Chains A and B, each alone.
Chain A
Amino acid sequence: MRFHVPVFETKDLCVTIGNHRVLSHISMQIFQGDYVAIIGPNGGGKTTLIRVLLGLQQATSGEIRLFGVEQKKFTSWNKIGYVPQRATHIDTNFPATVLEVVMMGRTAKRKFLGLEHDDDRTIVHHAMVTMDVANLKDRLIGTLSGGQRQRVMIARALASEPEVLILDEPNTGVDVVSQKRFYDLLRQLNNEKQITIVFVTHDIGVIVDDIGRLFSVNETLVTCNNPKEAISCEDMSKLYGMDAHLIRNHHHH
């Protein structure tokens, strides 16, 4: 049984932007080793929830705790690996090789004057091998395909040796074959390395077999602790306007 403090915890979290209420009274917990998918319609507040958790956006009211620590006092940011939504549409002219990008993941842990140590190089190499981008290490980031770039961004997050990985719709603009491979990798990270995974997506049909819990966000939050129980999730999906058909089809396999 899990006995540790939640990785993320919110109590009565509300976010209002201008006059628009984006998130209402969100209370949730995400535990170590969880594999959580956050779904919901566009504009429903999925990304806002992630950004507020990470301190990139202000909550209007409510409480946020990271690893049991109040967000404002939280300092162990290196435990969190973040792959933002726009990871696949970065500035293609930026002068960065794959190796240089993945090495960024070591920045917050770097030693005096930013010198790279052998262990930094070992960890970075390992992250690149895990995400299958080691053979691209001298390529410029702007010359990669969407799927390759996405794996590089996750390799960078892994290079900081995070305990939790947050991915905001990283599969946007990535072809189907790459996506399949990508989900396999995520499952592997969750199973073998016990990395907590929080994953924002439209694409619930593909991953429903892997995920532990499903959060549906559309201003308010509904959690589904056993997404494989198609009936309850289907109801929930209807409630939030998702494509329930996809989920059920998947379970006929």
Chain B
Amino acid sequence: MEIFQYDFMQRAFIAGIIIAIIASVGGSFVVLKRYSLITETLAHSALVGVAIGLVAGVSPIAVAVVVALVSAWSIEYLRSYFNIYSDSILAIFLSGSLALAIVIVSLAGAFNTSLFSYLFGSILSVSTEELWIMGGAGTVALLLLLGFYKEFYFIAFDEEVAQVSGIRVTFFNFLLITIVAVIIALSIRVVGTLLIGALMVIPTVSALQYKKGFGATIWLALLFSLSAVIVGMLLSYYFALPSGAVIVLVILLIFMISLLVNRHS
């Protein structure tokens, strides 16, 4: 295929596949914990990191990882130790982060195309260095998710029984949200901060429509996510459309098909 003659397309596909894998696997635990909106919130926090990076002239992705982590830990801390509803905390952090990002960017007069590429994704401009960061951090994230999937799964199913059985629930909740924050910051280049939530949540929600056990659900989510990223990128290449948005539309299509196929069962 001519499409793979270009180095940047090869990098784009590798980046897309890495993100498809970690976003769907990481997202599945978040969905099962009924915590989908954390992805949107952390994506907006990551945007603050991008803004700082752009203004300060350092790697926006690296700063995004740091800011997303700080935000994730603050959210989990507030959720665990204060009497505030989880979804209220998420709403506060989501709009607060966006406001902060806008102020930082406008102070520096940096409203430009480079900011847009972080908002909507710009997979074709992924550098080799960024690919290494995604590959390295993505592998660590995946190993942690798989290594502790039983803990995450048990906690998602029944947090209290998990705690009584001796699982360190608070630790694993922090670990999961940390992994999710890293996945989101890494995904910004592929689909952008405004669209990453879809990539983490929709594959699992689609897979859940088939009413299978956990193992089968994870594999289905992975399959949907990979298909959406690959098909989305091919479509965006041949029709010259923004890849992040096309990927999300393909996942939405998979979701709608999953709903229709399973509507009577």
Contacts and interface: CB of A to CB of B under 8 A. Distances in A.
Contact of B150 (A54, A90, A104): A104
A105 B157 CA distance: 12
A113 B166 CA distance: 17
A78 interface: yes
Nearest to A78: B166
Contacts of B166: 75-78, 108
A110 to B, nearest CB: 6
Interface in A92-123: 93-97, 99-101, 103-108, 110, 113-114
Contacts of A90: 157-158
Contacts of A171: none
Nearest to A110: B150
A97 B213 contact: yes
Contacts, number: 84
Contacts of A113: 146-147
- Secondary structure of the B contact surface, majority rule: helix
A35 interface: no
A219 B202 CA distance: 48
B161 A100 contact: no
A163 to B, nearest CB: 13
A105 B208 contact: no
A176 interface: no
Given A95-B208, A100-B213, A160 B158 contact: no
B28 to A, nearest CB: 9
Interface residues of A, number: 35
Interface centre among A76, A90, A104, A114 (most CB of B within 10 A): A104
Given A77-B164, A82-B165, A107-B165, A94 B32 contact: yes
Nearest to B163: A56
- Secondary structure of the A contact surface, majority rule: mixed
B157 A101 contact: yes
Interface string A142-167: 10000000000000100010000000
Interface centre among A95, A104, A106 (most CB of B within 10 A): A95
B147 A56 contact: no
Contact of A94 (B149, B157, B164): B157
B87 interface: no
A113 B216 CA distance: 19
Contacts of A75: 166
Nearest to A96: B214
B160 A100 contact: no
Enumerate the 9 nearest inter-chain pairs by beta-carbon distance, A residue then B residue, closest first.
Answer: A77-B166, A97-B213, A108-B166, A95-B217, A82-B164, A114-B150, A107-B150, A113-B147, A104-B154
Given A77-B165, A95-B208, A105-B165, 11 more contacts: A55-B163, A78-B166, A80-B164, A81-B165, A82-B160, A95-B207, A95-B216, A97-B213, A108-B166, A140-B211, A156-B161
